[in-house]
Amino acid sequence: MQARANDYGTWKLMAWTGPIFFIGFFFMWGLLASNFPPMAASTSAEGMWQHYKDLQFEIMLGMSVCIVLGSCYMTFGIAVSRVMRRIEGPEGMLSNMEMMGATITYAPILVACGIWLTGALQVDVLPPVAIQTMYYLGWMIIDIAYMVTSWQIIAVSLVFLRDKREKKLVPSWVCWWGFVTVASFFPVSLIPFFKEGPFAFHGMFNFWIAFPTWYIWIVSLSFFIIKAVNRIEIEDGAKAAKEVPVSGSGYAAAR
Amino acid sequence: MSKATVATKRLPAVEGVWVFVGADMFFFAVLFFSFMSDRVKQTDVFQASATGLSADIGGINTLILLASSWFVVQAVHAAKQDRGAEIAKWLLAAFACGIAFWVSKVIEYGDKLGAGITPVTNDFYMYYYTLTGLHLLHVTGGCVMLVYLWLRARGGAYNSQRMAVLEGGGIYWHMVDLLWIVLFPLLYLMR
């Protein structure tokens, strides 16, 4: 069943929550809360405590906003899922997997930001080692939950690669970049074992490769999903115009 | 030159496979650069640790992967020449090499772990386990892909007109091989 005409507004609005998510997160999580670049895993407990003390307000504000903004990943995921159903049909399992993946991805974001927020809030009454533990905990949760997001990305990539349109709703290179993103995630499993080097959570690979790779994917996908919703609206409009009989012609034909 | 003799240039497989391969190799290039950068800082540790690896086993692994790449090339050639029955046999041979590589790595890891050498022993072994581990993940993915291609080939899915998927799989498998060809001297031979 096609979307009713007045559904497109909601659909577009949800598609636009993708850019709201990635722009908001870049500024609030990355820049304001000073996670871009993150504090090194090898920083001493006292160093981490001081970091939280110095940036208490910025971290509290950044994390509070990110907890709210993180939900946009879920709403964007619903918009993506709806576009995917146009390709694999209303009963498609992959579009369900995408929606579940996007929704559950919000959970580690929410929990990690909540932990960092609490660390900043309680910095004056907590010992340095507690702040360090909370900082690590946030990273372990937000990073190692990557497989849920990976399933989402795999589902998106598979479905849009199967798009039979001459000009696909989402170009193939975005889908292949999705597979690249998933491949870049696997070394993230190594973060508990290293405090230095490319596989630490602040390291060359697990931060400077894995995060930008995913970021390029979400920015590209958002751009094409917004365009796809507009295209689908136009396609549906054209289809509906063809199906509506010319006034009186049905009666004339019957006679 | 007449038009008939001008060969049409064609990109094997689909563009996306090349995007994936290019990006994946870039990731490994970053890791190789990181390895070399740390090696410069700790030359003694890296040199001493490298002597603990068996160049013979590394060499055998190289031969296994080179053979598997050759088998995949034969499978693609068979498809190009519409020798359908041969495709599955070559793919199965390539898959067997993938399994042999796996077995070899398990023995090698077991030997090292049994001697108490782990990724936290020193930075060299951190790179050894992570680089070869990531490569082994690629081999694992490649083996799954080869089984898929083998099953499809048995059903007659590939011929000279339909071989993009087979070529894509071949390109990926060659990348896995190529990565090992860089890894082998980097870890086993530079002493």
Q: Using CA coordinates, name the residue in chain A closest to B34.
A: A198
Residue B126 touches chain A, beta carbons under 8 Å: yes
Question: Is residue B75 a contact partner of residue B91, using CB atoms and an 8 Å limit?
Answer: yes
Q: How far apart are CA B140 and CA B124, in angstroms?
A: 24
Per-residue model confidence as pLDDT tens digits over B134-185: 999 999 999 999 999 999 999 999 998 898 999 999 999 999 999 999 999 9
pLDDT tens-digit readout, A6-16: 589 999 999 99
Of B19, B119, B123, the CB nearest to A193: B119
User: In this structure, what DSSP letter does residue B145 have?
Assistant: H
Inter-chain CB proximity B31 and A198 less than 8 Å: yes
DSSP, residue by residue, A136-183: HHHHHHHHHTHHHHHHHHHHHHHHHHT--SSS-SS-HHHHHHHHHHHH
> Is residue B125 within 8 Å of B119, Cβ to Cβ?
yes
Closest of B169, B104, B164, B181 to residue B142, by C-alpha: B169
Give the ipTM: 0.72
Q: State what percent of residues in chain A have pLDDT above 90.
A: 82
Q: Which member of B17, B38, B137 has the closest CB to residue A186?
A: B137
pLDDT at A2 over 80: no
CA distance A205 to chain B (A): 7
- Kindly write down the DSSP assignment for every residue of A14-46, as one continuous string: HHHHHHHHHHHHIIIIIIITT-SSPPPTT--HH
- Rounded to an integer, the average pLDDT of A148-155 is 96
Whether A64 contacts A72, CB under 8 Å: no
Distance CA A168, CA A175 (A): 11
Contacts of A175 in chain B (CB under 8 A): 16
Using a 10 angstrom Cβ sphere, with 0-12 exposed, 13-18 middle and 19 or more buried, the burial of residue A140 is middle
Q: Do A176 and B120 touch (CB under 8 A)?
A: no
Which residue type occupies B12? P
